[in-house]
């Protein structure tokens, strides 16, 4: 998303679904991130405080970039109803199963509301509210290192098998591809 004030870039790559937001301040004055009024809503459930952790930035200097990183959002597998899937296509016998969804059938829909203001006291914020949904889920016995293509809209969740718990191998990987409903897309 880009306007005359900021450029926002969302990334969802990594383990357990972190949200990373790169923000470029186009102004010649600072912008402040109001973390208290920024939130994520996942499947209609509001989750506050995801961006609170040591070293989190809430000040953006003029004409500069900052990166906000959330705490992990999901460490449990996403419940899949194969009947809601647009297609349930086995991809390759050694890779697993691929499920595809649209915005209406997705098992995981979420919104990010980001509050930015040019005022140090956080008054008069502008809210950036963007929605995203899971469009594909890949269930596989392979680990993340085996995936040759890792775009910024994929995250993974690991689960060790009984055998893997004793050996320490990765047993199951759910790779998720996100789509967004950003304006103009």
* Domain boundaries, given as residue ranges, for the chain: 6-180
Judge whether 18 and 138 are in contact, CB under 8 Å: no
Q: Six-digit token pair at 158? A: 């690991």
Q: Is 31 exposed, middle or buried (0-12, 13-18, 19+ CB in 10 A)?
A: buried
Q: Is 137 exposed, middle or buried (0-12, 13-18, 19+ CB in 10 A)?
A: buried
Q: Can you give the pLDDT at residue 168?
A: 40
Judge whether 30 and 62 are in contact, CB under 8 Å: yes
Q: Six-digit token pair at 80? A: 């899949």
Q: Can you give the pLDDT at residue 170?
A: 42
Judge whether 33 and 68 are in contact, CB under 8 Å: yes
The H-assigned helical ranges of the chain are 162-167
Which residue stretches of the chain have pLDDT < 70? 52-54, 73-95, 141-185
Give dist(CA 51, CA 26) in Å, integer. Answer: 22
Indicate the helix (H) or strand (E) that contains 58: none
Share of the chain above pLDDT 70, in %: 61
Question: CA of 145: how far to CAs of 77, 81, 141, in Å?
Answer: 19, 27, 12
Q: Can you give the pLDDT at residue 73?
A: 67
Give dist(CA 114, CA 36) in Å, integer. Answer: 10
Q: Can you give the pLDDT at residue 172?
A: 44
């Amino acid at each position: 998303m880009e306007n005359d004030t900021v450029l926002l870039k969302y990334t969802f790559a990594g383990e357990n679904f972190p949200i990373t937001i790169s923000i470029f301040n186009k102004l010649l004055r600072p912008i402040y991130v109001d973390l208290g009024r920024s939130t994520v809503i996942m499947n209609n459930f509001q989750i506050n405080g995801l961006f609170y952790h040591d070293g989190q930035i809430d000040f953006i200097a003029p004409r500069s970039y900052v990166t906000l990183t959330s705490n992990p959002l999901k460490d449990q597998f996403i419940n899949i109803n194969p009947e809601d899937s647009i297609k349930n296509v086995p991809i390759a016998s050694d890779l697993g199963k691929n499920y595809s969804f649209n915005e209406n059938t997705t098992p995981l829909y979420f919104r990010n509301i980001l509050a930015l203001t040019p005022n140090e006291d956080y008054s008069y914020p502008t809210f950036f509210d963007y929605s995203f949904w899971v469009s594909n889920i890949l269930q596989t016995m392979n680990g993340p290192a085996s995936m040759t293509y890792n775009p910024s809209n994929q995250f993974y969740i690991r689960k060790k098998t009984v055998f893997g718990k004793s050996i320490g191998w990765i047993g199951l990987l759910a790779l998720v591809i996100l789509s967004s409903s950003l304006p103009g897309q």
